[in-house]
């Protein structure tokens, strides 16, 4: 699906009929801006429309055409701001329908789908036969549904990652607690003695053994042989 074209610029004929309300300088900038716009040179058109607004900042034609030019330059945030301001100033139903349609397009391109839906609804209130606004309204609803589904999917994925992380941390805590319990159950290891203590203990054992052997020898010395005389 593709977005329907932006509502066309306010015709130069309309400006000519209202020439009395414009200064020659303002009219010249608007006319030059329209020529550049028709050639597809939206940057040059934007400059001329801004010059027209410097002459008359209340020019609704200048604001409308500037909003359309910056939209073509993909500056959707500024175009949305311009058409929002115009929606509060516009009086005629046709003019309002065009402003709200362009506002809807700017918001749609900026992925502000809920607001774009409301703008298209306002465009259709002022011009129920506007097929472009009807089409774009349904397109905006579809994009909003896709956006909400994507946001829900992102939320579910984030929740799952957080839960997996928590489960992993709980598992690590349980393992650490189990390791501590296992260490407490093991018998204490004997303290390692120094080399000097070992030598002293060995020397003491040798001395004890020497004393024991001397004692044994003395005991053997006391044992005599019983002589048995013959009975002749």
User: What are the tens digits of pLDDT across the range 102-141?
Assistant: 999 999 999 999 999 999 999 999 999 999 999 999 999 9
Q: Which class is 17-73 in CATH? A: mainly alpha
DSSP-derived 3-state class of residue 179? helix
How many whole angstroms separate alpha carbon 70 and alpha carbon 39? Answer: 15
For the residues 133-160, what does the mean pLDDT come to? 94
By CB atoms closer than 10 A (0-12, 13-18, 19+), residue 155 is: exposed
Quote the pLDDT of residue 12: 36
Domain ranges of the chain: 17-73, 77-158
CA–CA gap between residue 71 and residue 86 (Å, rounded): 15
* pLDDT higher than 70, residue 191: no
Residue 163 scores a pLDDT above 60: yes
Confidence at residue 1, expressed as pLDDT on a 0 to 100 scale: 43
User: Does domain 77-158 correspond to CATH entry 1.25.40.10?
Assistant: yes
CA distance 86 to 209: 115
Domain 77-158 in the same topology as domain 17-73: yes
Unique residue bearing structure tokens 């690590």: 172
């Amino acid at each position: 699906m593709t977005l329907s074209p932006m509502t066309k610029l306010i015709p130069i004929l309309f400006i000519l009929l209202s020439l009395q309300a414009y200064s020659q300088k303002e009219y010249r900038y608007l006319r030059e801006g329209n020529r550049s716009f028709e050639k597809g040179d939206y940057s040059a058109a934007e400059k001329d429309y801004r010059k027209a607004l410097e002459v008359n900042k209340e020019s609704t034609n200048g604001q409308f055409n500037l909003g359309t030019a910056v939209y073509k330059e993909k500056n959707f945030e500024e175009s949305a701001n311009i058409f929002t301001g115009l929606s509060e100033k516009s009086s005629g139903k046709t003019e309002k329908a065009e402003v709200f349609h362009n506002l809807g397009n700017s918001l749609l391109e900026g992925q502000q789908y809920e607001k774009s839906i409301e703008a298209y609804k306002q465009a259709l209130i002022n011009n129920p036969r506007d097929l472009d606004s009807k089409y774009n309204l349904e397109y905006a609803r579809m994009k909003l549904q896709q956006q909400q589904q994507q946001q829900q999917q992102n939320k579910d994925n984030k929740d799952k990652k957080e839960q997996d992380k928590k489960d992993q941390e709980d598992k690590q805590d349980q393992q650490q607690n189990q390791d501590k319990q296992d260490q407490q159950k093991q018998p204490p290891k004997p303290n390692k003695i120094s080399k000097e203590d070992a030598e002293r203990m060995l020397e003491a054992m040798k001395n004890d053994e020497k004393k024991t052997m001397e004692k044994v020898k003395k005991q053997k010395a006391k044992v005599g042989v019983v002589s048995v005389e013959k009975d002749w």
